[in-house]
Chains A and B, each alone.
Chain A
Amino acid sequence: MKILVLIKQVPDDVVKVSLSDEKTPDIKNIEKIVNAMDTYAMEMAVREMEANGGEVVVASIGDKDEIRPSLVQEIAVGANRAYIGNLDVSGADEAALSAELLSFIRKIEEQEGSAFDLILTGKESTDEISSQVGALLAEKLSVPFVSSAIGFTKTDAALIVKKETEEGYDVLETTLPAVLSVTKPEYDPRYPSLKNKMKARKAEIPVIELEKAENKVTLTGYDEPAKREAGVKIKEKEAQDAVQKAMAILKEARLV
């Protein structure tokens, strides 16, 4: 199978984002990493290739110099090659992004000389958390879509996908080509070896110029959520004393 993994570079989600003086998310000093669920998609694709052959191509849209390190990292993880879609995507909504991705994919396929059998994305990104792009892309490509994929296998005629549900998982059968959005499977993404990292650093990554698509949603501004005030803090040597004080407050508030 020839698999395309679409990744997004995001600010490290361990760091809390607040608004700058200009009332925009202050992310410029936060380290940029590959979105967590995209790294699961990548690991899933590489495992498939290791088990059954095929190819894995990784691609991302953004400023060509800014996003290169993320693509280099995924080549080190195991992608055969990568593509950069050079475009300023700041302020793009999901409709615009998916349209831009569609034209990006078509251009990659043109360069590759063949179409992809399977396209994987993370289920959601940690910055925008919209979980839309995979679904939008599948619709635009008019191909089957399964969200929350935690695994897949290809049979002679079909693709079998495990989709995480509230209580367990569904086993779904579909055809290729397809788009899957991936959530955390039972395994973690691998750490690439130093050797692979060094090799990946020298990789030539073609840059494809893209045109901006139109937004259907516009941002009127940012806010910060209303802050909750910290209340009473009890600090006692003995657990008994702390609990007595706490119980008094809880009873007073009729919460117990």
Chain B
Amino acid sequence: MKTLIYIEIENGNIQNGSLEIMSLAKTLSDPCAVVIGSDVDNASDAVSAYGIPVIEVPCDKVSDDAEVFILNQIIKDEKPEYVLFAGTLKGKDLAPRVAARNDGACITDVIKADTENGVFTRPAFGGTVLENLKFSADTLKVMTVRSGSFEKLTQGEKAEVTKKEYALPEDALKVILKDSVKEISEKVDLEGANVVIAGGRGMGSKEGFAMVEELASLLGGEVGATRAAVDEEWTTRIHQVGQSGKNIAPKLYIACGLSGAMQHVSGITSSGFIVAINKDEDAPIFDVADLGIVGRCEDILPVLIDEIKKLKGL
């Protein structure tokens, strides 16, 4: 039996989560990657270097409708048992549609796999409860996988790339892209970052939040934010960490002026070392922090920034 892996391409590169689902696929059954797009030869090559055979499908006009159609054709040809997607916005858009079209089932945000028993674990209720789920035996099993849950695969013996072409019937394309508006120009890689410094409502103002940004830049890390900080427009939503943002697993996470709402905490629990700075001694963020500093961010952060500068000889 096969496991199809949908590879997401970002600016010509393999998206991080797609590397993680490759390692899960290897433990499930015979993996086979699918790369769809125009000018994706390099990406297909890169995937095959992980020892996973690739089906490359040239497609000039990539859209959800086109990709669902193509994936569906591949599923008809390959008859896989599993189809895996990274738990990105796109993965979550495609996965249930692919499942429905094949009368299959879909599990969202898998974080753990007991492959021997076919039991998959996912978070519910803001991540405070985990559900253990099992697919019905004779159904197409589709999953999206939460980023940071599985190790990235290491490269292996180069596998084969097979090109396949599928003609897209007009009536398969129901939604047409007219315009793509970029409001946020910065590139933020929260999921791949080793260091993330995040700020919440306690930063008080855009100027206060700037201290979070300064510390992040000093430590070579990315800036994270809570929903509240994004709603206040101190930063953009691309920085949001937690339930409706990114799930992250940096080596060092510093939480500034955020209380630790469960929707936020669920996105950071895989971090290596958590530092929390908060004036409220009873803030729930301290329950998950390896190092807590009780104090006002406007007092602590300037001193911390100075100390880091000294350390770096700045």
* Known A13-B126, A139-B100, A173-B175: A256·B219 in contact at CB below 8 Å: yes
Bound CA–CA A247/B302 (angstroms): 13
A175 nearest CB neighbor, chain B only? B174
Query: What per-residue 1/0 map shows which CB atoms of A158-191 lie under 8 Å from chain B?
Result: 0011000111111111110000000000000000
State the total of A-B contacts with C-beta under 8 angstroms.
222
The residue among A127, A131, A219, A232 with the most chain B CB atoms within 10 A of its own CB is A131
Q: Taking the complex as formed, is A48 at the interface, i.e. its CB lies under 8 A from any CB of chain B?
A: no
Bound CA–CA A9/B38 (angstroms): 43
Q: Taking the complex as formed, is B39 at the interface, i.e. its CB lies under 8 A from any CB of chain A?
A: no
Q: Which of B117-152 contact A (CB under 8 A)?
A: 119, 121, 123-136, 139
Contact of A236 among B109, B263, B290, B295 (CB under 8 A): B295
The number of chain B residues touching the other chain, given as a range, is 35 or more
Residues of A within 8 A of B64 (CB): 145
Residues of A within 8 A of B121 (CB): 223
Residues of B within 8 A of A95 (CB): 99-100, 105-106
Q: Taking the complex as formed, is A199 at the interface, i.e. its CB lies under 8 A from any CB of chain B?
A: no
Q: Taking the complex as formed, is B93 at the interface, i.e. its CB lies under 8 A from any CB of chain A?
A: yes
Give the secondary structure class of A's interface.
Answer: mixed
Residues of B within 8 A of A232 (CB): 290-292
Contact of A130 among B104, B108, B302 (CB under 8 A): B108
Q: Taking the complex as formed, is B163 at the interface, i.e. its CB lies under 8 A from any CB of chain A?
A: no
Bound CA–CA A94/B104 (angstroms): 11
Contact of B308 among A171, A244, A256 (CB under 8 A): A256
Number of interface residues of A (CB under 8 A): 75
Check A235–B294 contact: CB distance below 8 A: yes
Check A169–B181 contact: CB distance below 8 A: yes
Give the secondary structure class of B's interface.
Answer: mixed
Q: Please give the distance in Å from B203's CB to the nearest CB on chain A.
A: 16
Q: Taking the complex as formed, is A147 at the interface, i.e. its CB lies under 8 A from any CB of chain B?
A: yes
Q: Taking the complex as formed, is A250 at the interface, i.e. its CB lies under 8 A from any CB of chain B?
A: yes
Q: Taking the complex as formed, is A201 at the interface, i.e. its CB lies under 8 A from any CB of chain B?
A: no
Residues of B within 8 A of A165 (CB): 89, 180
Check B132–A131 contact: CB distance below 8 A: no
* Known A128-B124, A228-B274: A219·B133 in contact at CB below 8 Å: yes
Check A129–B262 contact: CB distance below 8 A: no
Check B307–A216 contact: CB distance below 8 A: no
